[in-house]
Amino acid sequence: MFRLSRKFPALLILAAAGIARGEDVQRGVQRYRELLHDINRAVVFTIANRTTSDYELDLARRAGSDVLIRGWFKWGETKPFSQLQPLAEKAHQFGALFGGGITCSALYDKENGITHAQLLDMATRGADGQLVDAWNRPGIRHGSLSSPAYLDYLFRWCREEIDAGADYLFMDENGAALSPKEGYDDRSLADFRYYLRKECPRTRGWPPADTRWHDQFKIDLRDRAVCPDGTMASFDYREYLRANRLIRNPKNNPLLPLWRQFRPWRDDRAWKTLTDRIRAYANEHHREVLISANGLARYVDLQVLGIWKKWNTKDGHIDLSENQLPYWHSLVESGRALAGKRVPVVLFHDWGMGTPPFKWLAVPPSDREVWMRTRGAEIYAAGAFFAFPVIGPFGCDSGKDGTISVIAQQAAFYKAHRDLYLNADFLTSEGLSSETPNLSLALWSIRNSNAIVLHIINRNVVNGVLNPQKNVNLAVPLDRAPSRVSLLSPDFKGERRGKARLSGGRLEVALGNLDAYTIAILRYDRPR
């Protein structure tokens, strides 16, 4: 008689689990491809600096990340990214884009085996022609964005990360972060000479021996140290400074305004060259690669910038007294205008910047959790995204400090209601009011719908403790009452009902109690 093995049920369970895992991977890869094709479908971003192990990658997975920002990052010495390729593949399987990145500024004297001759070819100089300690730190320089060798060096690391599976590159300090005492290397001076003659609005087209060079800028064309061939075709800005005794204080000279105009022109040209080269390489290898700078920039697919200037603390705790929602929305408008298209605007904190009050880790984990539930929601309500910090330097580890649970909870809400953020448009944060203090408010409209969305954030935080608000009522500049008010929140499950009525020509919306963040959807039966 044929008998079923007692192991058979277990084998069926394992087989079914295998199928489920296979289906999960298939869905994940499909989601990954959709995001790569249209980054505007992403709703959850995480900072994952650096992701070099399965443990670190799993934090991003647990957070529900759509995009890992700075999962790989080349600053100084780094090991080959090819060794990390499996991590990018695993991220794709759970539906996330894997981000790499590089610094476009820092250049260590012996990093990654470069020779001293290579360093001299890539590093910028001071006005005296000597190497400069970047940030006053011996052994580290700033690269020159006029140096073809340095641009090649930057591209090399981008290429290696792309080859290892990176879908997105975070380009830190894309303007090279030069101090006023830097930028006087030979190649930059050659570019400045070209700029003066060909691009500068004030001087372009002037003949190289024109007397205006002397009359307006005190350039002695006869000085063979300043102009070896007797014309501006050989002009040496360093020697000009030396001749005018301005080496130690280059500020006080007639050419300074044009030098200041030149630098952003040159930086933009180098940035455009680099981004074009990255995209061309990806295209040649049948890849799509997204690009951002660190800060608002042109030629990008998403804008990513830090919140340091708006990270407020008081007596060792977060300070949410200021309504920052209008500021966050101004960044959205500026970021899209600069990119020339609708792009995600992603805000982040990278833990270690500045003196202790400005550091993400300067407050307890409980404060950071409250901040993400409130300020994070305020950022979303402004039309931007907050990149949740899952792993980073200086001991930041959301798995160890416990913040991963709050990150996952918040991210799950945003993903479950992604259409409220991706298929809706910010209308205003003005004209909304409440007798309840310490609220941030925004009004949105859902596309192809008769619905209006109210975002309500509670900033009633004292000594790092969030105090819920009771009987919250809002006055909204609408002249019709909705047929239904639906309430959604990461702070409670399911959907609740709100109330609304017209009073004195304005709409009053009753929310009831408010924990950290609630969305009120005002549904109308016909167009408003």
Residue 18 pLDDT > 50: no
384 and 271 within one domain: yes
Residue 314 pLDDT > 60: yes
Work out the number of other CB atoms within 10 angstroms of the CB of residue 90: 20
457 and 333 within one domain: no
Q: Over the stretch 219-266, which tens digit does the pLDDT of each residue have?
A: 999 999 999 999 999 999 999 999 999 998 888 899 999 999 999 999
The pLDDT of residue 8: 34
486 and 372 within one domain: no
Give the per-residue SS3 of 73-94.
CECCCCCCHHHHHHHHHHHHHC
What share of the chain has pLDDT > 90, as a percent?
A: 89
Residue 7 pLDDT > 60: no
The pTM for the full model equals 0.93
Domain boundary among 383, 406, 421: 421
Residue with the larger pLDDT of the pair 4 and 99: 99
Residue 117 pLDDT > 90: yes
The pLDDT of residue 250: 84
Q: Kindly state whether residue 499 falls inside one of the protein's structural domains.
A: yes
Q: Which CB contacts under 8 angstroms, 24+ apart, belong to 445-452?
A: 446/419, 446/420, 446/521, 447/423, 448/423, 450/523, 450/524, 450/525, 450/526, 450/527, 450/528, 451/521, 451/522, 451/523, 451/524, 452/427, 452/478, 452/482, 452/521, 452/522, 452/524, 452/528
Q: Kindly state whether residue 24 falls inside one of the protein's structural domains.
A: no
440 and 404 within one domain: no
353 and 407 within one domain: yes
Q: Kindly state whether residue 5 falls inside one of the protein's structural domains.
A: no
Q: Kindly state whether residue 471 falls inside one of the protein's structural domains.
A: yes
pLDDT class for 358, splitting at 50, 70, 90?
Answer: confident
Q: Kindly state whether residue 354 falls inside one of the protein's structural domains.
A: yes
Q: Kindly state whether residue 357 falls inside one of the protein's structural domains.
A: yes
151 and 271 within one domain: yes
Task: HSE, CB side, 13 Å, CA atoms: give it for residue 210.
Answer: 12
190 and 69 within one domain: no
* CATH number of the domain within which 162 lies: 3.20.20.80
Are the beta carbons of 154 and 162 closer than 8 angstroms? no
* CATH number of the domain within which 449 lies: 2.60.40.1180
Residue with the larger pLDDT of the pair 350 and 164: 164
What is the total count of domains within the chain? Answer: 3
The pLDDT of residue 158: 98
Q: Kindly state whether residue 193 falls inside one of the protein's structural domains.
A: yes
157 and 71 within one domain: yes
398 and 298 within one domain: yes
Q: Over the stretch 44-87, which tens digit does the pLDDT of each residue have?
A: 999 998 899 999 999 999 999 999 999 999 999 998 999 999 99
Are the beta carbons of 67 and 415 closer than 8 angstroms? no
What share of the chain has pLDDT > 70, as a percent?
A: 95
Residue 307 pLDDT > 50: yes
Q: Over the stretch 260-302, which tens digit does the pLDDT of each residue have?
A: 999 999 999 999 999 999 999 999 999 999 999 999 999 999 9
Q: Kindly state whether residue 3 falls inside one of the protein's structural domains.
A: no
Give DSSP secondary structure letters for 200-224: -TTTTT--TT-THHHHHH---TT-T
47: nearest Cα among 55, 35, 56: 56
- The mean pLDDT value of the chain amounts to 93
Expressed as residue numbers, the domain containing 298 is: 38-173+266-421
Q: Over the stretch 424-451, which tens digit does the pLDDT of each residue have?
A: 999 999 999 999 999 999 999 999 999 9
280 and 150 within one domain: yes
Residue 355 pLDDT > 90: no
Residue 330 pLDDT > 60: yes
444 and 363 within one domain: no
504 and 490 within one domain: yes
The pLDDT of residue 1: 32
- Joined together, the tokens standing for residue 10 give 């277990």
The pLDDT of residue 353: 63
The pLDDT of residue 504: 86
